[in-house]
Chains A and B, each alone.
Chain A
Amino acid sequence: MNDAVVWPVVLPFAFAVASLSAWRRPGLRALWAAAGHLAHLLASIGLLTAVLAEGVQVLRVGGWPSPYAISLVADPVAALLTLLAALVGAACVADVLLQPRERAPHPAFHALMLMLLGGVSGAFLTGDLFNLFVWFEVLLMASFVLLALEGRPPQLEGAVKYVVLNLMSSAFFLTALGVLYGKFGTLDLAHLATVVEGGNDRAVALASALFLVAFGVKAGLFPLFFWLPAAYHTPTPTVSALFAGLLTKVGVYALLRVFTLVFPPGTGFAHALLLGLGTVTMVVGVLGAASSTSLRRVLSFHVISQIGYMVLAVALQTPLALAAAIFYLLHHILVKTNLFLVGGLIAEASGGERLSGLGGLLQRWPLLALVFAVPALSLAGLPPLSGFFAKLAVLRAAFDASAWVPAAMVLLVGLFTLYSMVKLWQAAFWQPAPPSAPTPARPAGRRLLPAVGLASLTVAVGVGAGPLFEVCLAAGADLMARTPYLEAVLGVVP
């Protein structure tokens, strides 16, 4: 029994309500928001410290014994991801707070951001499948409203596709829950893990396939990703940065959790499917990026491509591969949020997002070029940045598992990613500014702070890759073995 688990979930909602109560007072609202993100960050750090020091933390809500209680469970994976969510949430809200006063966000904006983070933390920390469904709905609802908040036509179009496909995926999720409950009479993750058996059980195969579709849509897996490039480039840059950094990763986390704990290899046929889909997702995503001509659409397709790497690592199901998946998730959340934030600044400084209309920023804002280069090269996997170690680990895991085709694709897609990042760099910084376009004033230098912060973290993850990867390896081994999680939740493992 430990209270540390509950704070990262409860605090964002408390501060969201506080920020809503200051509807007519922008200054106070911003203050509540900043305090809320800081509190979330501190609570997540506290949780991670507790998990690393004392092992898996479990809170059984209502004090009932497991598996009757709905539990919140923080193992190292969940705690690390919660911390990352808090970090990028803080970076995004800092980006909003540093904007000029006349571009103040909608009164509900800060509350929605906090609710989204609360929902994401809940999804990471819950130990119950139905509860996961509820957290998904919470974070989806917040994301729906954030996406459509400005109400311009492209946003409405993006929101329609995003809403419809995500609601469909929720229905699949619920159906899978029904099938599982009908078969096993429980939805507690740890309890399910002890009762689900391998072999040719049709209910298990059906439920795992339904979960694959439901989480595949949320994660942006091929061929279920089409809502993503239609929606992610439409809202304000801050919102798309938070979405790109966090939302698809919640889907990947759900895949990682369910397909290690509830459906380990040998149950159902989803792992083989995941391996193939992950590989295709990598390739299709990067090809989509190569053929896009607008800044945030290129970045959106890269989200998909990178999801492929993570799903591939999840599908390989070795301790090293799971460690690689965790490390990749951490690296990707930081880097992708940062790229979208910097992308927003590039668009603001050049008055548009079409690659042909950008240019000349190297002279006008050299520091931005540097801050863009760090996450971009990290995404492409250049040493010594975080992406290099993430890709290396996935590649190594693929070689160890003799998955030659996926391994070859990992290398090839890395090359294409580099090409794509160079294309963006060339368009925004290298090529001369188009002569006809009126140049808007350069945003204030302080606007770079969140991006600089995230870039330093990316460098730190690269430099400190050794110790961090040790943590990931331990977490991956625990995920494979399942016993630490089960022992913490259920007490004794049969």
Chain B
Amino acid sequence: MSVLFCVVVGVVYAAAFSLLLQRDLLRVLLGVALLGHGANLVVFAAAGVGHGPAPLVAAGALAPPAGAVDPLPQALVLTAIVIGFGVLGFALALAWRVRGALGTDDLDALQATCRDAAGEGT
């Protein structure tokens, strides 16, 4: 299971970086999102993936059963997913504004447009 996770994480990171190197803004943002998912998987896998009882303390007991799964990475990943979702939402809205204001989502063209604008104004 851990090996499978390692392979998946590797593939996700590779795909993310290949998307990040594109000129198209939407693809870059998808790359960022994918990179976040890869990082989430790393946190998830880091604590070890396997079978075990749920970390619930039985009535009358003082500690969870022996060999219980560590719930903390899942809490961390959940937090990271929520944050990632919010941030990605903002980034997509920003991309929409960029496309509306500049009429392009090609990063090279975007730079040229803005250099002209900056050259005039500042």
Chain A residues in the interface with B (C-beta under 8 A): 130, 133-134, 137, 140-141, 144-145, 148, 151-154, 156-160, 163-164, 167-168, 170-172, 174-175, 177-179, 181-183, 185, 187, 233-234, 294-296, 347, 352-354
0/1 interface trace, chain B 98-122, chain A, CB 8 Å (1 if under): 1001100001001101100110011
Q: What are 23 residue pairs bridging A and B, where the CB atoms are less than 8 Å apart in the complex? A: A137-B83, A141-B90, A152-B101, A153-B113, A154-B114, A156-B102, A160-B94, A163-B90, A163-B94, A164-B20, A167-B36, A168-B32, A168-B35, A174-B42, A175-B39, A179-B42, A181-B46, A182-B46, A182-B48, A183-B46, A185-B47, A233-B122, A353-B122
Q: How far is the CA of A181 from the CA of B87 in the complex (A)?
A: 24
Checking A151, A153, A163, A168 against B20 with a beta-carbon cut-off of 8 angstroms, the contacting residue is A168
Q: Is A156 touching B98 in the complex (CB atoms < 8 A)?
A: yes
Q: Is B86 touching A141 in the complex (CB atoms < 8 A)?
A: yes
Docked complex: B32-58 residues within 8 A CB-CB of A = 32, 35-36, 38-40, 42-48
How many B residues, CB 8 Å from partner?
A: 44
Q: How far is the CA of A250 from the CA of B25 in the complex (A)?
A: 28
Checking A141, A178, A183, A187 against B42 with a beta-carbon cut-off of 8 angstroms, the contacting residue is A178
Min Cβ gap A264→B in Å is: 23
Chain B residues in the interface with A (C-beta under 8 A): 16, 20, 25, 28-29, 32, 35-36, 38-40, 42-48, 70, 72-73, 76, 79-80, 83, 86-87, 90-91, 94-95, 97-98, 101-102, 107, 110-111, 113-114, 117-118, 121-122
Q: Which residues of B are found within 8 Å of A171, using beta-carbon distances?
A: 16, 32, 35-36, 38-39
Beyond A156-B98, A354-B122, is A145–B79 a contact (Cβ under 8 Å)?
A: no
Apart from the given pairs A178-B39, A182-B47, 7 other A-B contacts in the complex at a CB distance below 8 Å: A141-B87, A145-B90, A154-B121, A167-B36, A168-B35, A171-B16, A353-B122
Min Cβ gap B76→A in Å is: 6
Checking B44, B45, B90, B122 against A144 with a beta-carbon cut-off of 8 angstroms, the contacting residue is B90
Q: How far is the CA of A170 from the CA of B90 in the complex (A)?
A: 15
**Contacts between the two chains (Cβ within 8 Å), count:** 123
Q: Which residues of A are found within 8 Å of B42, using beta-carbon distances?
A: 174-175, 178-179
Q: Which residues of A are found within 8 Å of B35, using beta-carbon distances?
A: 167-168, 171
Chain A to chain B: the 8 pairs with minimum beta-carbon distance, closest first:
A182-B46, A157-B114, A178-B43, A178-B42, A174-B39, A171-B35, A178-B46, A353-B122
Q: How far is the CA of A172 from the CA of B101 in the complex (A)?
A: 31
Q: How far is the CA of A162 from the CA of B66 in the complex (A)?
A: 47
Beyond A164-B28, A174-B40, A174-B42, is A156–B80 a contact (Cβ under 8 Å)?
A: no
Q: How far is the CA of A183 from the CA of B86 in the complex (A)?
A: 29
Min Cβ gap B104→A in Å is: 11
Q: How far is the CA of A172 from the CA of B36 in the complex (A)?
A: 9
Q: Is B117 touching A153 in the complex (CB atoms < 8 A)?
A: yes
Checking B36, B110, B118 against A160 with a beta-carbon cut-off of 8 angstroms, the contacting residue is B110
Q: How far is the CA of A206 from the CA of B97 in the complex (A)?
A: 38
Q: Is B91 touching A167 in the complex (CB atoms < 8 A)?
A: yes
Q: How far is the CA of A295 from the CA of B83 in the complex (A)?
A: 35
Q: Is A151 touching B97 in the complex (CB atoms < 8 A)?
A: yes
Q: Is B47 touching A181 in the complex (CB atoms < 8 A)?
A: yes
Q: Is B46 touching A167 in the complex (CB atoms < 8 A)?
A: no
Q: Is B46 touching A148 in the complex (CB atoms < 8 A)?
A: no
Q: Which residues of B are found within 8 Å of A157, using beta-carbon distances?
A: 98, 102, 110-111, 113-114
Q: How far is the CA of A163 from the CA of B31 in the complex (A)?
A: 13
Min Cβ gap B38→A in Å is: 7
Q: Which residues of B are found within 8 Å of A145, using beta-carbon distances?
A: 90
Q: Is A181 touching B98 in the complex (CB atoms < 8 A)?
A: no
Q: Which residues of B are found within 8 Å of A175, using beta-carbon distances?
A: 38-39, 42-43
Q: Which residues of A are found within 8 Å of B45, using beta-carbon distances?
A: 178, 182
Q: How far is the CA of A426 from the CA of B64 in the complex (A)?
A: 71
Q: How far is the CA of A174 from the CA of B97 in the complex (A)?
A: 28
Min Cβ gap B17→A in Å is: 9
Min Cβ gap B42→A in Å is: 4
Q: Which residues of A are found within 8 Å of B79, using beta-carbon distances?
A: 130, 134
